[in-house]
Structure formats: structure tokens, C-alpha cells
Amino acid sequence: MAETTTEGTDTIEALSLVPKAEARQSMKDFKSDQEVRWCPGCGDYAILAAVQGFMPELGLAKENIVFVSGIGCSSRFPYYMNTYGMHSIHGRAPAIATGLAASRRDLSVWVVTGDGDALSIGGNHLIHALRRNVNLKILLFNNRIYGLTKGQYSPTSEVGKITKSTPMGSLDAPFNPVSLALGAEASFVARTVDSDRKHLTEVLRQASAHSGTALVEIYQNCNIFNDGAFEALKDKQSAEEAVIRLEHGQPIRFGADGSRGVVRDRATGDLKVVTVTPENESEILVHDARSASPTTAFALSRLADPDTLHHTPIGVFRAVERPVYDTQMTEQLDTAIEQKGKGDLASLLAGGDTWTVVG
Amino acid sequence: MTSQVSSAAEQADGTVVGEQRKANGVKDVRRLDRVIIRFAGDSGDGMQLTGDRFTSETASFGNDLSTLPNFPAEIRAPAGTLPGVSSFQLHFADHDILTPGDAPNVLVAMNPAALKANIGDLPRGAEIIVNTDEFTKRAMTKVGYAASPLEDGSLDGYQLHPVPLTTLTVEALKEFDLSRKEAERSKNMFALGLLSWMYHRPTEGTEKFLRTKFAKKPDIAEANIAAFRAGWNFGETTEDFAVSYEVAPAAKAFPVGTYRNISGNLALSYGLVAASRQADLPLFLGSYPITPASDILHELSKHKNFGVRTFQAEDEIAGIGAALGAAFGGSLAVTTTSGPGVALKSETIGLAVSLELPLLIVDIQRGGPSTGLPTKTEQADLLQAMFGRNGEAPVPIVAPRTPADCFDAALEAARIALTYRTPVFLLSDGYLANGSEPWRIPEIDELPDLRVRFAQGPNHTLADGTEVFWPYKRDPQTLARPWAIPGTPGLEHRIGGIEKQDGTGNISYDPANHDFMVRTRQAKIDGIDVPGIEVDDPHEANVLVLGWGSTYGPITAAVRRLRTAGLSIAQAHLRHLNPFPKNLGTVLRQYDKVVIPEMNLGQLATLVRARYLVDAHSYNQVNGMPFKAEQLATALKEAIDG
């Protein structure tokens, strides 16, 4: 990975309080001395490389970057980043990171989690972090399987999945993480794929620039327990029909030569995929990630067929400005000092009604 | 005339200490050394407010006092029923006292349910003031009175004062533009006025309080003040109340200083703010509302101008999780809860043990198991605090002994957490939380210095001479690891719940290393420097009574009674439950018999027996209420005699 310059973050409001690196950084600066211990061929390697490769672009003092994770294969991630890090407990990373980010606005706090960690045991913390809009960047590695416990179905596994714990097929309907995040009022929601380094990096770039909680779902291949789960999106031929690349301000077209497009169904108001013709070309939906209403973003998140993954949008679904929790928390502290003066312990302890005993 | 003070006095001498007879038409005034009053009514009758106000009047007058609020878990239980009764007991005296008192000398019963629920606690001869307006046939039938207890002779042994409180209140407020229902709501202030007259309480504080509380509704404020004054004047004029009482200030009971009345939860909140200031670290509270701990969250959320961040989390787990995250970032981090919340936080407490970060876990114990008795007190979380985690996960435990002591206990818990980089349990309980007593306000320069040093640079030199930072290289004295907070250049490191290699903190599955780390974490907690236990033993007794936490008041009161009766008994009280004071074993072995009263089924006794092989006797009560001094005295006398 070529060295990247440290310019750029001065203008990003989300990172304005985080000190900048004094010297140019390279990918090497973000590699810890620990041996990476994922299975050979795991999609996590590609994501780690992309994140390590992207970090120098932010140009932040690396001592002001913290990675917090839960439990699962992906949650080993912080050990491999030469930043501050905490490998916590199952599902709780968003809660821990919330306390850190809310008390230290000079930090860039990242959460690394998986589909089991974030959506099963930690589902509650995830939705509450999203609704609060704490300044966190959450990278959700979705491989649609439990890897670390060796192959049980996960909350994103397709119905009927045969696994060790579901020999006759799983009965649970899966979560769609993007739909879930949008429903939880997330201010930034994106999806990308482990093997598409360029796309992944671009999504990271936009997530870092976002003020508040950013949820990035990363489709990640578990080559041991769920190999090829996203093959439809990766195989060059099938990807043409399967992948819809969302770009803000651009008509939503995909397929060979943009032959396919997304339009609004006039009868139902829902979205549907059509073959683009001169007649309907003007009706092709223009993607608006900044729309105040999450309705269309939600409709986009429902386009994909959960079994075949056909018509899977990737990119930034939603990126809107919303009050940021930790900013407002600090403002309340400032306001309290303005109104009442800086706290004086002696007068607090003395309170109102006192009496004095003299010798 | 001793009916005002039961014979079972803490100082065994509760008597009328003076009497003034005045000219015809002027009422008698008698001087008493102490009084116990219980206000009881429906949940909606405002009994807690009435009790609080009487307490404030009494505190500002300079009596020593101790209070016991007792209320149902339901916000508004069905009106007029026994489960809906809410009460507030106040004990005040001209000398130092230790408990809210065993048996009330005076009961104010606002309805038949309040009478029925409380009459059993009253000694014969006690005064009962009842609101006769509420003694309708329907209301009496609701609580099982076939005939009116006011007329059937069942209260003959008591001094009954039937007062139509509601009617008198409504009458007093007829000049105000209020509906009857609105006027009736001031009847608690009428009762407060009457009692304030009976005991010569200062009234300015209550009038000022009412004006502030109803600042936005001046009519309501004035109506309440009018009811309050009407109650006072009723006492002054009616024939039924022939005597009023004085209880002199407890000047001799208190060391020189400035005092205020304070509840346990308020003292604990102030202790946390003080610890933050003394440590020069911002305070971060991650919490989820739970009775009886929520008041700490409420209180701390008012003090944002002290840099206090309060985070109301989505659940108990997130409350402690956020606190732990803030601790990683260098805050003085706290989570507050009660027993069921501790159960949910257990895994995160284990993580904090592994991460070796400072964190305060405040458990305001309540009746258990499960939801149990949310508004009642208990001490049954001791073993949960001690052992309630997977693996070997030792956590220090500090327990306050009185409401005001919650302040010092919070500072002590913070000292241990910060010095030893460990989660610490602060075990208060519902009785301490809501009870109150006078507190000598400390001078700021009396408070301990809790400042810490964050790691600033490398702490280890490798064989090749390279200077590195090892997050698990320990202080040889305390065994604490360095606290290196994000933002410190060169100290970037990763910590987690997986076992770590000694020193480097890297993941390690090495068996010998795990054995070493488990023992080292235990040794760190075992080695915490805590003061030795002090024994109060003026007569070289054979029996020692050992307690912890909120039983201090009742145990000490019982010990006083026994000594007054000529018996010898030694007393010791634990503040540190983990580790125990170094001299505890020696102390225990000096006595023929050790008795441990607890509001659980013998949890401290279990620890003491296991640790010291001492045949400690348990004396237990788990009825949701604090021990009564008389009951404890009887039990301890049996131990001495047996």
C-alpha cells in the first residue's frame, strides 16, 4: 500500500477535536506486533488490510484512535491495530465505546463487531447506540454464520440453513442489518464487501467524515463455515445482476451497461427493478443519501432477495446530520457551568439547612 | 408520666426530664429526652413528605435523629388498602441515638389501613392521632374492621386523639379558591402543623420549603401554609391536646462543627462528587434506573457543573459497560444499581477484574431473590458481591454503616479502586439509602488526596535495550498495573478479557502463566491496605458481636442496653468485607463466642467461619426491615447467658 498523505481531516467536522499526527503515516504504523490468527483465506484479512491502509489517510494521532470489539472472530481485530484497543465481552462493545466516546471527545472510536455479536447477544446495545447517535464508527462484519463457536446459524443466516445446531434447517427469519439500523434511526448506514478494497475504503472514508454513529455492514466471507455466502456479489458475471452500487446524487442503475434500474412503483410506492428503456429512463430513482426521511433508504434495503442476494445495494444508504450525543452532553456541562458557575464542593456539601455546634 | 418514651429506651432511661405547669388555661409543657413518631397513611397521602419536613424541622432544631421511611413498591397501590400504607418513622433525642427506634411513642394514622398496619408496633400507652374523617364504614370494612376500632374499646390502652383532619383542613381553606378535593390534599400539612406544635418544632423552614416547592402555584403554596398553621393552632387551642413536649437540642452529643441532615443516597452521591474532585478526575456515571438506587442517578445528574457526566443506559449491562469504557478513558467511573442489576452486570465486572481498571459498583441492596422486595432493605448481596462471577474474580468490598457514613465509604471505595486499579463494590442498602441522620459537614482539606498518576512513558527495557510499555507490568508494592489512557503517545496497547501474558499483556494460553495471573490478581486484592478492625470492649467481655453495614445502629444500641444492664459484651463492625482487616482473625479468636447479626441468612458468618475456622453464631432477620435494638439485645443476652 502506497503511503498516503496526512491531509484532509482538517475539514472534517467529525474529527475536528481529534489531534493530528505530527508526521506522515503509513499502513505499517497501524500494524501491531501481534501475529494475525484468523483462518487462512478469511475475509477478515482483507478488511484489516483495508482499514490499516485507510487510517494514514485520516492523519490522526494514532494514540487518539481506539478500537473496541466484542467477542467473535472479527472481535480479535483490535489486537492487530497499533492503536489503543479493547477486546471486551460478547455484544457489549457499543456500550463500552459509548462511555469512552462520551467522556473523551478527542478520540476517534471504532467498534468492530460481527453478526452474532452485534445483532444477537448485543442487539440492544447496537440499536441504542444508533438512536443516540454517539460519535462511533461501527464496522459490522457479517458472514451470516457463527465462526468462533464453529458453525451455528446466526441472526443473519437464511431461513432453513443447515448447521450443527439446525440439522433440519434453521427456523429463524434473518435480520437485514441495514434495515434494522435504518429502523433504529441511524444517521449513517452503509454496506460494503470485504473483497472490494476500493469500495470498502470509500465507505470507510465517508463513515469517518460522518458526525455521530456510522454503521458499516461489511459482507465478509467465512471460508470455513459458510464459504461462498456472498459469491453472487463477487463472481463477475453474477455480480452484474446482483450488485447495485449506490452513489449519492446518481441514478440507481446497474447491470451490463446500466441496463437495469430502480424505479418507484406508482401503485404501491415501493421500489422495483426494471430494465431501462428510453421511456422509463427519466423515472429511474436518483439516490439521495441525505434525505431527511429514511423511507426510501429502507425500501432500497429491502430490494435484495435474501436467498439469492440478487439486487443487493452496496454503498451509503443514508448519511444525515443529526445532533450528536457526546457533543450535546458536553454542551449541557458547559451550560450548567455558565448557569451555576463551576462546581464548588464546599458549598455543595453545606447545602441549605445547617446548624452549628459550638464547644 | 413516661408514656411518651417506652421503657425499652436505648439509654434505658427514657423519662420525662422536666415539667412545667403553667397558670390556668395555659397548657403544660413537658421535657422528654427522646421521642419516636410514625406518620402513616395511604401512598397518596404525602406521608414521606410530611416525615421529611418534620425531620428537617427537627434537624435544624439541633436534635440527634434517625429516620426510617417505609413505603410500598407500587406508586399508587389501591387506596385505603393495607398494602398501600406508606409510613415514615422518626426518632429524635437530646442525646446521640443510633436507630430510628423500635416502637413509636406516637402514631399518626391518616386512615383505617394505616392504623391497622401499624398498631401492632405500638406499646400500650402510646399516643394515636387518627383522622376520623376516613373512618367510614366502607373504609373500615376494606381492611377488615367489623366495628370501629375508635369505638369498640380495642384502643383503650392507648391515648387516642380522634381528629377530623380532613374536615378541619377543608374548613381552614374555605377562603381559598380550591375544590374540596384540592383542599383535602393539604391534610398532611395540617397534621404536620399539629405535630410541630406538640413538639415545639421551628416552622419557618417548612413555610419556606412550601413556597419554593409550589413557586409556580402560589395559591397552592399559601393553602398548604394555611393548613400547616391551622394544624398548629388547633393543637394550641383544642382541649384534646393538653400537653406539649420539648426535646432539647442534643448539643453534647455532637462534636463541634456545622451539621446538616443527610440521607444515605445523598451522602453517597456527594461522596462520589468529592472523590472526583479529590482524584482530579471527571466523574462518569453509567446507570439504569432501579429502586432503591435511582436517587443517586437523579442527584448526580444535577451536578453537571462539577463536570459530572451521567449516562442513563438502555440496560444494566450498558450502564456498567459505558462506565468501564469511561474508566479506560481516564474517568472516575461509577455504576449504581441494586441486586438484580448486579446480576446483569456480573460479566462486565469480571471483565473489569481482567482489565484491571478502576470502577465503582454501587449496590443499594434490597430484598431478594429476583425482584424480591424493591423498597425494603436487606444485606443478602454480600456473597454475590464476593463470588458472583465466573472464574477467580476477586473484587474488594466496602460497606457504609450509617446514612452519613455513605460519604466516607464512597471516598474509601474510590481510594481502593484508583490505587489498586480494580473494580470495587460499595454495598449500601435500602435502609441506609432512604434513612437520614445529622452529618457533620467535613472541611474540604480533611478529605483524602486521591490523585493518580497516569502512565506517561515506557516502563520496561527489553534485553536488546529497547524501551517499551508493558500494560501488565505491576507496581511492586500495590501490584497495580499502569493506567495508560488513550491519547498518551507511545503507549498504544490492547487489553481484553482473554488471559494475558504477565507483563506484556499479550494474549496467552500458557497454563503456567494463567496460574500465575490468577494468583497475582488474588494477591493484589488480598494485599489491599485496609485499616485494622477496632474493638469496643470496655469490660473484657467473653462475647463479641460482629456486624457489617447498616446493622451498626441497631447493634450498637443493643450493646448499650446490655452494658447499661450490667452485662459485658464486645463490639466490632466491619467496613471492609474484602479483604478483611489483617487483625480480624486475631480479634475473633480472643473471644469465647462470636455472634454475627445480619439481615440475611448468615453470609458474613459463612465467610468468617470459612476463613478463620471460628465457630461464629449467626443471628438473622430477613423481613425487609432493620433490626430492632430490643430484639437484638435479647438475642445477644441469650448468647452471653448461654
The answer to whether the Cβ–Cβ distance between B315 and A96 falls below 8 Å is no
- Please compute Rg for chain A using Cα positions: 23
Cell numbers for A212, please give them: 455521530
What's the pLDDT score for residue A358? Answer: 83
What's the pLDDT score for residue A356? Answer: 87
Cell numbers for B389, please give them: 462471577
Q: Does B455 touch chain A (CB under 8 A)?
A: no
CATH number for A107 = 3.40.50.970
The answer to whether the Cβ–Cβ distance between B325 and A100 falls below 8 Å is yes
Q: What is the pLDDT of residues A61-72, one digit of tens each?
A: 999 999 999 999
Q: Which of B625, B459, B638 is nearest to B551 (CA)?
A: B625
Q: What φ, ψ does residue A108 adopt, rounded to 5°? A: -100, 110
Averaged pLDDT score across all residues of chain B: 94
- The DSSP code sequence of B521-535 is HHHHHHT---PPPPE
Give, as one character, the DSSP assignment of residue A60: B
Q: What φ, ψ does residue B425 adopt, rounded to 5°? A: -85, 135
Which of A28, A35, A92 is the best residue to mutate to test the B interface, defined by the most B CB atoms within 10 Å of its own CB? Answer: A92
Q: Which residues of A touch B314 (CB under 8 A)?
A: 95, 124-125, 128
Q: What φ, ψ does residue A42 adopt, rounded to 5°? A: -65, 145
Q: Which of B626, B208, B575 is nearest to B427 (CA)?
A: B575
Gap between the Cα atoms of B272 and B275, Å rounded: 5
What's the pLDDT score for residue B8? Answer: 37
Give the lowest-confidence range in B21-35, B420-434, B549-563. B21-35
User: Is there a contact between B231 and B194 (Cβ–Cβ < 8 Å)?
Assistant: yes
User: Is there a contact between B158 and B128 (Cβ–Cβ < 8 Å)?
Assistant: yes
What's the pLDDT score for residue B251? Answer: 81
Which amino acid belongs to residue B229?
Answer: R
Note down the domain range covering A90: 10-234
Give, as one character, the DSSP assignment of residue B77: P
Q: Please report the number of interchain residue pairs, chain A to chain B, with beta-carbon separation below 8 angstroms.
A: 209
What's the pLDDT score for residue B21? Answer: 52
Nearest-by-Cβ selection for B284 from A83, A103, A345 = A103
Gap between the Cα atoms of A299 and A92, Å rounded: 29
- Please compute Rg for chain B using Cα positions: 27
3 state SS of A219: strand
Instruction: Specify the pairing of strand B106-109 against strand B34-42.
Output: parallel
User: Is there a contact between B630 and B559 (Cβ–Cβ < 8 Å)?
Assistant: no
Instruction: Specify the pairing of strand A271-275 against strand A260-264.
Output: antiparallel
Q: Does B255 touch chain A (CB under 8 A)?
A: yes
* Sheet containing strand B593-598, strands side by side: B535-536, B570-574, B543-548, B593-598, B617-620
Stated as kind and residue range, the H or E segment containing B68 is strand B64-70
Buried b (16+ CB within 10 A) or exposed e, A12-36: bebbebbeebeeebbbebbebeeee
Buried b (16+ CB within 10 A) or exposed e, A232-258: bbbeeeebebbbbebeeeebbbbbeee
Which amino acid belongs to residue B554?
Answer: P
Q: What is the pLDDT along chain A (359 residues), one digit of tens a residue?
A: 334 444 455 567 788 999 999 999 999 999 999 999 999 999 999 999 999 999 999 999 999 999 999 999 999 999 999 999 999 999 999 999 999 999 999 999 999 999 999 999 999 999 999 999 999 999 999 999 999 999 999 999 999 999 999 999 999 999 999 999 999 999 999 999 999 999 999 999 999 999 999 999 999 999 999 999 999 999 999 999 899 999 999 999 999 999 999 999 999 999 999 999 999 999 999 999 999 999 999 999 999 998 889 999 999 999 999 999 999 999 999 999 999 999 999 999 998 778 888 87
Cell numbers for A115, please give them: 453478526
Averaged pLDDT score across all residues of chain A: 95
Gap between the Cα atoms of B399 and B389, Å rounded: 19
pLDDT higher than threshold 60 for residue B14 = no
Q: What φ, ψ does residue B77 adopt, rounded to 5°? A: -65, 160
The answer to whether the Cβ–Cβ distance between A86 and B490 falls below 8 Å is no
Residue B93 β-bridge partners:
B34, B64
Cell numbers for B500, please give them: 494475558
Decide if A263 is inside a domain: no
- What sign results for the dihedral spanned by CA atoms A88, A93, A96, A102? positive
Q: Chain B closest CA to A103's CA: distance in Å?
A: 6
CB atoms within 10 A of CB B207: 15
User: Is there a contact between B517 and B344 (Cβ–Cβ < 8 Å)?
Assistant: no
Gap between the Cα atoms of B34 and B96, Å rounded: 10
Decide if A93 is inside a domain: yes
The answer to whether the Cβ–Cβ distance between B494 and A78 falls below 8 Å is yes
Q: What is the pLDDT of residues B15-74, one digit of tens each?
A: 456 655 555 557 899 999 999 999 999 988 999 999 999 999 999 899 999 999 998 888
Tell me how far the alpha carbon of residue A191 is from its chain's centroid: 8
Q: Which of B377, B378, B430, B422 is nearest to B403 (CA)?
A: B430
Return the residue matching grid coordinates 424541622. Answer: B57
Nearest-by-Cβ selection for B496 from A61, A88, A346 = A88
Distances in Å between the alpha carbon of B527 and those of B125, B356, B416, B610? Answer: 55, 15, 11, 19
Omega of the bond leading into B486 within 30 degrees of 0 (cis): no
What's the pLDDT score for residue B11? Answer: 40
Q: Which residues of A touch B331 (CB under 8 A)?
A: 103
Q: Which residues of B touch A349 (CB under 8 A)?
A: 270, 274, 441-442
Task: Provide the pLDDT confidence category of residue B569 given band limits of 50, 70 and 90.
Answer: very high
Decide if A314 is inside a domain: no
Gap between the Cα atoms of A101 and A169, Å rounded: 41
Q: What is the pLDDT of residues B462-497, one digit of tens each?
A: 999 999 999 999 999 999 999 999 999 999 999 999
Q: Chain A closest CA to B485's CA: distance in Å?
A: 8
User: Is there a contact between B455 and B469 (Cβ–Cβ < 8 Å)?
Assistant: yes
The angle, 0 to 180 degrees and rounded to 10, between the axes of the packed helices A93-103 and B316-328 is 50
The average pLDDT across B211-235 equals 95
Q: Does B280 touch chain A (CB under 8 A)?
A: no
Gap between the Cα atoms of A111 and A193, Å rounded: 17
Gap between the Cα atoms of B426 and B525, Å rounded: 15
Q: Does B92 touch chain A (CB under 8 A)?
A: no
Q: % helix / strand / coil in chain B, to the nearest 5?
A: 40, 20, 40
Q: Which residues of A touch B355 (CB under 8 A)?
A: 86
Q: Which residues of B touch A355 (CB under 8 A)?
A: 59-62, 258-260
Q: Which residues of A touch B508 (CB under 8 A)?
A: none
Gap between the Cα atoms of B367 and B339, Å rounded: 8
3 state SS of B429: strand
What's the pLDDT score for residue B40? Answer: 97
What's the pLDDT score for residue B642? Answer: 85
Gap between the Cα atoms of B249 and A357, Å rounded: 10
- The DSSP code sequence of B570-632 is EEEEESEEESPPTTHHHHHHTSSEEEEEESSSSHHHHHHHHHH---PEEEE--SSSPPPHHHH
Decide if A88 is inside a domain: yes
Domain count, chain A: 1
Q: Does B391 touch chain A (CB under 8 A)?
A: no
Decide if A352 is inside a domain: no
Decide if A137 is inside a domain: yes
Gap between the Cα atoms of A343 and B304, Å rounded: 8
Q: Does B490 touch chain A (CB under 8 A)?
A: yes
What's the pLDDT score for residue B5? Answer: 32
